[in-house]
Amino acid sequence: MSTQSAQSITGPRPIRKLLVANRGEIAERVIRSARAMDIATVAVHSDPDTDALFVDAADEAVLLPGAASSDTYLRADLIVAAALATGADAIHPGYGFLSENADFARSCAEAGLTFVGPPVEAIEAMGSKIAAKELMAKAGVPVLPGATIDDTDEVDAAAVTAMADEIGYPLLVKAAFGGGGRGMRIVRADADVVEAVTGARREAASSFGNGTVFLERFVENPRHIEVQIFGDTHGTVVHLFERECSIQRRYQKIIEEAPSSAVDEELRAQLGDAAVAAGAAIGYTGAGTVEFVMAPTGEFFFLEVNTRLQVEHPVTEEITGLDLVALQIQVAEGEPLPVEALEATIAGHAVEARLYAEDPAADYLPGSGTLQRFHVPALPGVRVDTGVRDGSVVGTNYDPMLAKVIAHGRTRTEAVRKLARALAEAQIHGLVTNRDLLVAILREPEFLAGATDTGYLTRHEPAALVGVPGKEIVAVHVLAAAVAAQASRRAGARVQRPVPTGWRNVASASQHAEYRIGETDIDLTYRFTRDGVEARLDGIPLAGLAVLDARPDRVDLRVDGVRRTVHVHQVGETVYCDSVLGGTTLIERPRLPEPGTDAAPGSLLAPMPGTVIRVVAEQGQHVEAGAVIAVFEAMKMEHSVRAPVAGTVSELSVHVGQTVESGEIVAVITDEEAA
């Protein structure tokens, strides 16, 4: 489980004040462990993050003026200056941003600051995925065949095609200096390889500052298995078992677990030995992860080494009982790995779900806006790592992850069930999220059987997993919303406030409410009688109704003989309803809408705020259905606006470099058939 390498032994150097060079949940997570170790903390933050949870959690904070990552969290000079100005003696980089930047680690050392991470040499060795593969092959770690196209090379179509043919299809085009699915394409035929390389280079250059890509043989529907390693400055490298990270969308993980249901003790030993060999080959210290792809046959191949703490590190913490952030700090202080790390064992099973502000039904389009409510129930064995709270603003400058929800149980089944229940009962209002998709996956038979691989969300379409709101949930939540609104008005009444909601001495005409769920309009008429309540939903009578208790934020009612409690949260015209049936967002329809608020027919609207990076179509041009009109960048990803029908581009309202807001008109397509 461990190996010794020839390294100089560094004496203890206690850390007294730690600057966290990151944001969001990982910044708050690092601060939490540092506080438990009696280490003072400093946060750095951008303008949009001024009121963020992690800023409040730190003892001190320094503003990095601006909003874009390039002006703030990627400014190594400003971060080092902040550390020196506050008297910090160490910097923890978290994950992402500068965490795997060798120049930043070097700058910390030159400034006399301890970098809580691996040596500069280890980061440099793994900074290029190409060089990393070569090094791993020499160390005896299994690797896949591939080829490289340098940032400075011209894209020669014939040469690229020949290179791809030699590797064989399907193949993967991947950014050499980055991760998170950016700059990555799967290619299955000669006809697509040049376009894939060009697009991947452009995205890699934009996200990582270097457009170098490499081509690699793609293993169809493999499992994504990674091994947590830890090294200290005394020459010891150990592994802390594997994690299964196969449930992915856009090459980014959304559900992770430890241990893997596909790994037995023999395979676990092989994976661990390979990971330790990888760590030893680069003289690794601190927390790192060796990632592998595993074929259905059980063969595994080196993917990369992440020279930092992983997003999914909590599942390893839950099954080992170790605090990996505390271990990072202890190693950075020069302490040897403790016996509990050297002799770690697996206890139970842990599963983590990444909760994102994104719409799975719209190709995982990231969302932005104000988080009106964020509450995950405190169930036994459930942990929430988050950087948001009620009122947090989710912008377009950073990753849209809201939280990681982790459950630990004696068995995989127990852990999965706990996590599904916690997510199902969560109240997340103000943003579209992937919560329903996560719950659907956790309850799906194939997932429950442990049959997971990277093709899972290809076989299981998000829309099919989640489905559409059934009549039952619509009836219950729409009625609850209307009754809660009436209770709110009653609570604000100046006279006869104690009179029960909806009560009339003489039977009156029905009351009317209109709501919208997604693109569907719902019409509700209801009235209270001496015997209860009568209601019609889109003209169809609802049976077995009774309102047992009605408050502005909570309605206890019976529909079709079944009693349920619905929690209601209204913000403006938006009503959020949560019950055992799930969560529903209703838009209260105004009875007299303002004129001129609708866009012209055929208008293509920006689905979220972003910057236009390409305009493909021209005004007056004929386009086919699905043709790309413009491409904009938001949250470090490219998003295409496509023509919904064949027609003529009668208006083109954007240009390259323009910043657009959500709902802004990008173009107008005149439907030739309709005309």
Tell me the CB-side half-sphere exposure of residue 164, using CA atoms within 13 A: 27
The percent helix, strand, coil of the chain (3-state, each to 5) is 30, 35, 40
Token representation of residue 636: 């470090």
Nearest to 244 by CA among 421, 440, 412: 412
Alpha-carbon distance of 185 to 173, in angstroms, equals: 5
Which of 185, 268, 308, 490 is labelled catalytic? 308
Alpha-carbon distance of 396 to 609, in angstroms, equals: 7
Contacts of 305 (CB under 8 A, 6+ apart): 126, 132, 278, 279, 282, 284, 288, 289, 290, 291
Burial class (CB in 10 A: 0-12, 13-18, 19+), 568: buried
Alpha-carbon distance of 644 to 604, in angstroms, equals: 8
Whether the Cβ atoms of residue 547 and residue 560 lie closer than 8 Å to each other: no
Q: Distances from the Cα of 516 to the Cαs of 26, 128, 554, 570, in angstroms?
A: 37, 50, 20, 14
The one-letter amino acid at 50 = T
Whether the Cβ atoms of residue 212 and residue 150 lie closer than 8 Å to each other: yes
Token representation of residue 374: 């964020």
Contacts of 162 (CB under 8 A, 6+ apart): none
Pairing of the two strands 628-634 and 90-92: unpaired
Alpha-carbon distance of 130 to 338, in angstroms, equals: 34
CB atoms < 10 A from the CB of 548, how many?
A: 11
CB atoms < 10 A from the CB of 389, how many?
A: 14
Kindly tell me the sign of the dihedral angle through the C-alpha atoms of 218, 358, 315, 101. positive
Alpha-carbon distance of 293 to 389, in angstroms, equals: 36
Q: Distances from the Cα of 324 to the Cαs of 48, 259, 272, 426, 464, in angstroms?
A: 29, 16, 18, 27, 38
Q: What DSSP state is assigned to residue 58?
A: S
Q: What DSSP state is assigned to residue 360?
A: G
The answer to whether residue 642 is catalytic is no
Alpha-carbon distance of 159 to 153, in angstroms, equals: 11
Contacts of 177 (CB under 8 A, 6+ apart): 127, 128, 129, 204, 208, 209, 210, 212
Token representation of residue 479: 């009625």
The one-letter amino acid at 235 = G
CB atoms < 10 A from the CB of 339, how many?
A: 8
Alpha-carbon distance of 556 to 563, in angstroms, equals: 7
Dihedral pair phi/psi, residue 336, rounded to 5°: -75, 160
Alpha-carbon distance of 168 to 191, in angstroms, equals: 14
H helices of 292-363, where? 313-320, 324-332, 339-342
Alpha-carbon distance of 179 to 168, in angstroms, equals: 23
Q: What DSSP state is assigned to residue 143?
A: B
Which residues are bridge partners to 630 per DSSP?
A: 615, 641
Alpha-carbon distance of 177 to 155, in angstroms, equals: 18
Active site residues: 308
